[in-house]
Amino acid sequence: MHALLTASAPELLALQEAGDASAVDIARAHLDRIAATDDRVHAFLHVTADAALAAAADVDRRRAAGEPLGPLAGVPVAVKDLFATCGVPTTAGSRILEGHRPVYDATVVARLHAADAVVLGKTNMDEFAMGSSGENSAYGPSRNPWDLDRVPGGSSAGSAAAVAALQAPLAVGTDTGGSIRQPASLSGLVGVKPTYGLVSRYGMFAFASSLDQAGPFARDVAGAALALEVIAGHDPLDSTSIPQAAPDLLAGLERGVEGLRVGVVAEFLATDGLAPGVKARVEDAIQRLGKLGAELVDVSLPHAQYALPAYYVIAPSECSSNLSRYDGVRYGLRVPAETAEQMMAVTREAGFGREVKRRIMIGTYALSAGYYDAYYVSAQRVRTLVTRDFADAYRRCDVLVGPTAPETAFRLGAKTADPLSMYLNDVFSIPSSLAGAPALSLPVGADERGLPVGLQIMAPVLGEATMLRAARALEADLALDPVPSGANALEAPRP
């Protein structure tokens, strides 16, 4: 049991090919782990146990019959509740979609099924992906398996918590300004935000359409690369999808970092509020990259300091437009009232949480006549400057490195009263989001409390293969144990 739960996705494929485990064994082990631990972790909003076991049995039957199988055959995956799942409740963490059952699958979900992955269920999240802790979920927070009194990060809180808790070897999440990387950092996982447009957003409920991207979580780089290969690639159903096939991310993964030019972002390491324990681990990791043969280059992103304020104009503006569709007319919650207009008002009042309302109001204000140029247009100009900073940096280096998040996992409730302190969690992840460029978080050790620290590795647009290769070299060198440990950690499964 223990071995099936700690195995990576590539290991689970190998175990099945060798006849040492069936897909049903693997699915059962993970469903049992969810049943035994999710009362404390609360990673899942909905577990699709019957469908998972049926999909696993189908993989076993086809393997026995010698039929071809997909690249994730029999590998369990947890899916953020922002992705539409046909016939399966999809709430986006919001009351306004309570009980909503989409009539179609998001492309990411369809591709997981086509790859013969076993979908375990839907994971908890900050409402409509707005947040950095999971505490903005309408259904209660998820908890960090490394310390159950702390948050797993957000907004893909449940996806991170599920993989860290050994409830699933893989999960998919979404990242608009950091929602895969920051929870990966806080939960000791590999989390990848791909290039904007690499993964289809069809059926992924929109938050800020010029930034939203889907991506994987895993406890290892190879698992994340494999999952990304499966979900990436052109989709005619998403007009922002890059018209090219999924890249090969596994072939060059073990090539090492010899001669790779690694840019160290000076401003990130000099940021006020960067916890000393995070800084120390990140600096160690950078030195290790140098010892492994990478060429370390000092790099400046002078406009990165304006990325966070620009994001908090752009993202709420797009959110105010995207969320206007939740009006009680066609799906989700409807609170009856005298007139249609009153019905919409009371439905939105009852259905949206505080943070979502705050964003809708900020965005509506920023887009309104008279303020549009002062706020929205200015923010877009800042976005251009940030993108140019990256272009300059990538003339001199292949990847950039820095911390993923300024702190390790914080206590539940520590930042809920102060939105700005919550927003500051994404100060390092937002710049590459504005540039539409890929970035990942890799675990690089623990702070003085034993909580995981993430290194962010950023790359130019479509630089995923190089970025993953650098992460893999460091992962192999560090050889960390991805199973949560510590005084207040979730218990490891029995061997």
Write out the catalytic residue numbers: 80, 155, 179
Q: Does 426 bind ligand GLN (CB under 6 A)?
A: yes
Q: Which of residues 112-131 bind ligand GLN (CB under 6 A)?
A: 129-131
Q: Does 132 bind ligand GLN (CB under 6 A)?
A: yes
Comparing C-alpha atoms, which of 359, 367, 331, 326 is closest to residue 344? 326
Binding-site string for ligand GLN from residue 457 to residue 476, where x marks contact by CB under 6 A and - marks none: --------------------
Nearer to ligand GLN, 175 or 229 (CB): 175
Q: Does 441 bind ligand GLN (CB under 6 A)?
A: no
Comparing C-alpha atoms, which of 145, 32, 41 is closest to residue 484? 145
| Three-state secondary structure of 249-266 | CCCCCCCCCCCCEEEEEH
End-to-end CA distance of the chain: 7
Name the helix (H) or strand (E) containing 31: helix 23-41
Q: Which of residues 290-319 bind ligand GLN (CB under 6 A)?
A: 315
Number of residues that bind ligand GLN (CB under 6 A): 14
Q: Does 155 bind ligand GLN (CB under 6 A)?
A: yes
Q: Does 168 bind ligand GLN (CB under 6 A)?
A: no
Comparing C-alpha atoms, which of 36, 128, 23 is closest to residue 80? 128
- Tell me if 186 sits within 8 A of 160, measured CB to CB: yes
**Angle in degrees, 0-180, between the axes of helices 157-164 and 23-41, rounded to the nearest 10:** 120
C-alpha–C-alpha distance, residues 323 and 116, integer Å: 33
Looking at beta carbons, which residue is closest to ligand GLN?
179
Among 178, 183, 215, 402, which residue interacts with ligand GLN (rule: CB under 6 A)? 178
Nearer to ligand GLN, 15 or 362 (CB): 362
- Smallest gap from Cβ 82 to ligand GLN, in A, equals 9
- Tell me if 400 sits within 8 A of 299, measured CB to CB: yes
- Local structure of 161: helix, strand or coil: helix
- Smallest gap from Cβ 178 to ligand GLN, in A, equals 5
Give the single-character DSSP code of 492: P
Helix ranges restricted to H, 266-409: 266-269, 276-291, 307-322, 340-351, 354-367, 378-393
Nearer to ligand GLN, 215 or 460 (CB): 215
**Which span sits near ligand GLN by CB under 6 A: 143-151, 172-180, 197-205, 469-477?**
172-180
CA 181 to chain centre: 6
Give the single-character DSSP code of 408: S
Nearer to ligand GLN, 299 or 430 (CB): 430
- Which tokens in the block code for residue 1? 């049991």
- Smallest gap from Cβ 356 to ligand GLN, in A, equals 10
- Smallest gap from Cβ 25 to ligand GLN, in A, equals 35
Comparing C-alpha atoms, which of 79, 76, 60, 64 is closest to residue 28? 76
Q: Does 177 bind ligand GLN (CB under 6 A)?
A: yes
- Smallest gap from Cβ 240 to ligand GLN, in A, equals 16
**Which span sits near ligand GLN by CB under 6 A: 104-112, 140-148, 170-178, 251-259?**
170-178
**Which span sits near ligand GLN by CB under 6 A: 3-11, 175-183, 367-375, 454-462?**
175-183
Q: Does 142 bind ligand GLN (CB under 6 A)?
A: no
C-alpha–C-alpha distance, residues 190 and 247, integer Å: 19
Q: Across the strands, what pairs with 452?
A: 446
- Smallest gap from Cβ 107 to ligand GLN, in A, equals 18
- Smallest gap from Cβ 134 to ligand GLN, in A, equals 11
Residues of this chain that interact with ligand GLN (CB under 6 A) are 129-132, 155, 174-179, 207, 315, 426
